[in-house]
Structure 1
Amino acid sequence: MSETCLKIAITKGLGVGIIAGSAMVKIPQMVKILRAGSGEGISVPGALLEMYAISSTWAYAVARQFPFTAWGEAFFLAIQTSGIIILCLVYAKKSSLAGIYLVAYIGVMYVLLSGQIPVNVLATLQACNMPVMLVSRMIQILQNYRNGHTGQLSAITMVLVFLGSLARIFTSIQETGDPVLMWVFISSSSSSGAIVLQLFWYWNTTNEYLKKKAKAE
């Protein structure tokens, strides 16, 4: 097998693996929220900004007709992240906002994927992903720092998101050659890596806090 064929095989394999993993990467987070009956520690504004990044990547890649293996995880991440946002709002007794969010998001994605939005506009939205993703993660990082714990944030989910972003740097280079996508995944992996470090740094503090809260309730 030539070096080129090997790279293609590795890239396709990684792409398929990432998509398969993305179909369940945020399930641990959703399960943790459901079990606790709380989304405490999870930044909804940060998650909304993350949805922007996920959705613009999805719409841009579809418009550019990139292979599904290059962007398929965005579809699954959009569904799961939306589920997390809705759960956090519902447990915060803001069910009406959860309903408004769901209807609005479906409407926005219908327009973005309709083919009516010029590719250059979608490229601009995609180019904004780096600062948006960084701001999204910084909001979560600052919330963790201020709280002194990570609440119901799932370590499993964040570690998988971090590893997936790292793998996506390689696949975006090999499958698309698009520098915009490459830098988006570089910024995503570095910022999610910072949250992973916080999860382990605050591990004992978080466990003690959640135990005390459970006893108080």
Structure 2
Amino acid sequence: MAANLLQQAILLVVTPKCYEEFFHEMNFTDVECLKGTLSKGLGLGIILGSIMVKIPQIIKIQRAKSAYGISFFATTLEIVAVIASFSYNFVNGYPFSSYGDVLFLLVQTGIIGALVLHYNGASQQAFLFLAVVAGAAATLCSGAIPMRVLWGLQAANIPIIFTAKMLQAHSNYSAGSTGQLSGVTVTLLTAGSAARIFTSIQETGDIVIIATYCVATFANSIIFFQLLWYWNAQTKGVAKGKKGSKQKKN
């Protein structure tokens, strides 16, 4: 019983062919099996991480009771991109390990969009927003939409993701701060999109998906470096303010 459970767990990250190579033939040097297993393991790790990836952002907004610094338009564009990506992968029948994280990103980004509306005084629109997101996702995943349309939406993700992230980056630059952006969330998104380049190459070989993750990694990296820059600037500003206060007292 325990042996069967262990085998089933191993088969989550190893194909039956590679299971034979590793555990029956004792061949641990098969390059394709090693790459495939690494890809599956990374994919499952990214999915597990994605379950919580935007929770710090959601908690930060709720605790502050403010969505200051978060661009609703950028968030909406990100949701459009996530829905297009999920439906394209789902209808194509790609392995869940290659795109499962997108499902959790969709749910969490939808919640963030609704919170932005709610804390900007538009609570009724927040519920409507969630309903539209759910309806759009269900329609695109239904199989009723031609694949060429889904491919076009996935290809459009490249400029959409870049635009959404640059809008957020511009918002950060204009405010001279990253506001309520969560450092944990931005870091996980950057690392996850970078890892997805490898898993997409291994598990789908789909050029448009690979290109999307390359652009996402570049754009996420810009916001990540903004977090570091403004965090350092704010830290220096606080330290300078404390020093000035002490000098006045003296």
What is the TM-score normalised by the length of structure 1? 0.94
Distance 2:58 2:232 in 1: 22
Q: Percent identity?
A: 44
Kindly provide the CA deviation profile for residues 38-83 of structure 1, in whole angstroms up to 9, marking residues without a partner as x: 1100111001101111110100001110010011011000000011
Higher relative contact order (CA 8 A, sep 6+): 1
Which consecutive residues of structure 2, in runs of 5 or more, have no partner in the other structure?
1-27, 239-250
Aligned to 2:107: 79
Matches within 5 A, 1:199-214: 199-206=227-234
Distance in 2 separating the partners of 1:170 and 1:40: 35
Q: Distance in 2 between matches of 1:156 and 1:88?
A: 19
Q: Structure 2: how far apart are the matches of 1:178 and 1:11? A: 15
- 1:153 positional shift: 0.5
- Structure 1 match to 2:34: 6
Are residue 186 (structure 1) and residue 229 (structure 2) matched?
Answer: no
Q: Which residue of 2 aligns with 1:141?
A: 169
Q: Secondary structure at the match of 2:99?
A: helix
Q: Aligned residues, how many? A: 210
Partner of 2:49: 21
What residue is the counterpart of 1:97 in the other structure? 125
**Which of 141, 146, 160 matches 1:132?**
160
RMSD: 1.4
Aligned letter for 2:139?
A: V
> Is the CA contact 1:150–1:206 (under 8 Å) kept in the aligned structure 2?
no
Distance in 1 of aligned mates of 2:224 and 2:232: 14
Alpha-carbon deviation of 1:204? 4.4
Match of 2:180 in 1: 152
Distance, in Å, in 2 between the alignment partners of 1:53 and 1:103 is 17
Whole-Å separation in 2 of the counterparts to 1:67 and 1:76: 16
Is the Cα contact below 8 Å between 1:26 and 1:157 reproduced in 2? yes
Q: Would you say the 8 A contact 2:46–2:101 is kept in 1?
A: yes
In structure 2, what is the equivalent of residue 212 of structure 1? Answer: none
The residue number in structure 2 matching 1:69 is 97
Q: 1:48 aligns with which of 59, 76, 91?
A: 76
After alignment, is 89-98 or 176-185 more displaced?
89-98
3-state DSSP of counterpart to 2:181: coil
Aligned to 1:198: 226
Distance 1:206 1:151, change over 3 A: farther
Find the counterpart in structure 2 of residue 115 from structure 1: 143
Query: Which structure would you say has the larger Rg?
Result: 2
1:42 touches 1:151 (CA, 8 Å); kept in 2? yes
Name the CA distance, whole Å, in 2 between partners of 1:61 and 1:31.
29
Structure 1 residues not aligned, in runs of 5+:
210-217
